Amino acid sequence: MSKLLLKNGIVVDPAQGLESRLDVLVENEKISALQAGLRAEDAEVWDLQGKYVTPGLIDMHVHLREPGQEEKETIKTGSKAAAAGGFTSIACMANTDPVADDVSIIKHIKEVAARNGLVHVLPIGACTLGLQGEHLTQIGEMQRFGAVAFSDDGQTIGNALVLRRVLEYAGMFGATVIAHCEDRTLVNGGSMNEGLLSTRLGLPGIPRAAETAMVARDIEMARNFGRIHLAHISARESLELIRQAKQQKAPVTCETAPHYLLLTEEAVGEYNTNAKMNPPLRTEADRQALLAALQDGTIDIIATDHAPHTLDNKRVEFNLAAFGIVGLETALPLLYTHLVKTRKIPLTRLIELMSVNPAKIFALDKGTLRPGSCADITVIDPELTKPVDKTKFYSKGRNTPFDGWPLCGWPDMTIVGGQVRYTQKAGVLVKKP
């Protein structure tokens, strides 16, 4: 079994309240020691002077497209993108084809992921059959075979009675339900944020109430019937409701995505389809409200909503283009450069948002470097500065609005279960056959 000794890095482990220069010893897939001046005769030694060593990043909102749309992404290419982006665990949404709405698909995803062995792939099961919002899936069975959460993401469960049953049923198994909050009747074919800009561009708008009205309903559902995690929050009114609900101890948590923190609807500019996502990019006031909500704890998690598409899905009229962008390979440096380096939040808070809290909310045995825990580790190089180059992505998706952005804080090394899966120098290291 291989032994790794990570020397001289600055360990940032919010779960232990740690931010100090320590060595990390990895043995038998686990962290075996964490202290200064460690020695180990037979270990492979990495000098991480000037770098941060953090618990492995966890992305709870990823679309891997397999099975069914392998031209957009596969479990393998998505896992490579994750490793290259500093993620050691990714949870994949159920809106594949066929939908991950029964045990056979959950098993299939686990098997393909295990064969690739790059990062931990955690399947999310559908709440309703075929994401149709009518008949409940076998939540308990899917959980037994490895589903870590349940969601109809891409769709909102419109029928509140069905959602009630989902919450009650998932609650019996202690499973978390992730809600995609969107009132379809209000979306009404819209393709960007509704406002002056959409009018000027002549594009049909999506009103902010399409999100906020559903957030309000889901908070009431959570209060009465069981815990909900709200996906990709984008509007300031939604944050107000969530803040208030949390003060009243409603069992609600939420996430936002890097693009809502860094871009506004202005990015749509001259009909840039790589700025088309769902929910849509909002205004500067929303962006500021999201930053404040990161600081005050209203937002629990940052997830990418990694949504790869083919060029053909995006090289069309704005109205016809697919929603969504890729995120796995840009999230960490984007957030490091624009949140940590600019002192909007400290690195410890970013690690809470990207590792500690996902582990806590979804009951994963991860999110810390405490001795005895699984050796999932992300090493960050705060000094390395280079532009985003979408032609170098491991993901099949090239749909990013961040191409060419100069960023720092790139992942230097990704270690998954004690195995080095990515280094800045060598790239992604595929499992030996």
Residues with a catalytic annotation lie at 305
The binder of Zn ion chosen from 7, 51, 180, 236 (CB under 5 A): 180
Nearest to 302 by CA among 253, 361, 354: 354
Residue closer to Zn ion by CB (options 22, 231) is 231
Beta bridge partners of 306: 62
The binder of Zn ion chosen from 265, 305, 381, 412 (CB under 5 A): 305
* Whether the Cβ atoms of residue 261 and residue 292 lie closer than 8 Å to each other: no
Residue closer to Zn ion by CB (options 180, 229) is 180
Q: Does 309 bind Zn ion (CB under 5 A)?
A: no
For residue 95, the minimal CB distance to Zn ion (Å) is 8
Binding to Zn ion by CB under 5 A, coded x per residue (else -) over 212-241, reads -------------------x----------
The two counts, helices (H) then strands (E), for the chain are 14, 21
For residue 147, the minimal CB distance to Zn ion (Å) is 16
Residue closer to Zn ion by CB (options 51, 65) is 65
Residue closer to Zn ion by CB (options 11, 93) is 93
Q: What angle do CA 331, 333, 337 make, to 5 degrees?
A: 120
Nearest to 378 by CA among 398, 360, 356: 356
Q: Does 153 bind Zn ion (CB under 5 A)?
A: yes
Nearest to 294 by CA among 232, 344, 244: 344
Alpha carbons 384 and 341: distance in angstroms, whole number: 13
* Whether the Cβ atoms of residue 380 and residue 409 lie closer than 8 Å to each other: yes
For residue 324, the minimal CB distance to Zn ion (Å) is 7
Using CB under 5 A, which residues numbered 58 to 87 contact Zn ion? none
For residue 306, the minimal CB distance to Zn ion (Å) is 8
Q: Residue 276, Cα to own-chain centre: how many angstroms?
A: 18
For residue 153, the minimal CB distance to Zn ion (Å) is 4
Amino acid identity of residue 22, one-letter, is L
The residue sitting closest to Zn ion, measured at its beta carbon, is: 180
Number of residues this chain uses to bind Zn ion (CB under 5 A): 4
Token pair for 416: 């998954």
Binding to Zn ion by CB under 5 A, coded x per residue (else -) over 260-299, reads ----------------------------------------
Token pair for 288: 């500021």
For the purposes of burial, counting CB atoms within 10 Å of the CB of 47, is it exposed (0-12), middle (13-18) or buried (19 or more)?
exposed
Residue closer to Zn ion by CB (options 44, 97) is 97
Site residues for Zn ion per CB under 5 A: 153, 180, 231, 305
